Amino acid sequence: MIIKILAALLAVILEAFELIAIAGYLNKYGLISWFSQTVVKVVGGLGLSWQMSFGILVLLYFYSHYFFANGAAHIGAMFTAFLSVATALGTPSYLGALVLSFLSNLMGGITHYGIGSAPVFYGAGYVPLAKWWGYGFLILVVNIII
């Protein structure tokens, strides 16, 4: 029994390293810088105030979580990029860091793979996939409004 627990723990640790490595490679090969520059051009080109621009960035950051396997990979790849973009568009850096940090904690439950414990709850079969995503979307709308 202890061997099985240790093997499962090792698998989780190795998966975390893999996901963080993937985020590092996205940065190394220029995807993150390209994305940041594109967002600055698009959002900055709208001519909006920094508050409205930051609102758009917040939505992009939050919804981009759907494209990542878990929170560590998403935060590792996107947090610094979005904070840099927000600062470049005039958002106070401390405010930007706090808001992105809050969102990084809220997005874990929006999908059945969004955070380390989510697959366990999903796998138990208590909530069907469509309901999970539906509730996740509803909760994220409420959280963003708050």
Residue predicted with more confidence, 109 or 15: 109
Integer Cα distance of 36 and 81 in angstroms: 6
CA distances from 127 to 52, 71, 73, 121, 123 (A): 36, 21, 25, 8, 9
Is the pLDDT score of 3 beyond 60? Answer: yes
94 confidence band (pLDDT: 50, 70, 90): very high
**Residue 91 CB-density burial (10 A; 0-12 exposed, 13-18 middle, 19+ buried):** buried
pTM here is 0.71
pLDDT at 69: 66
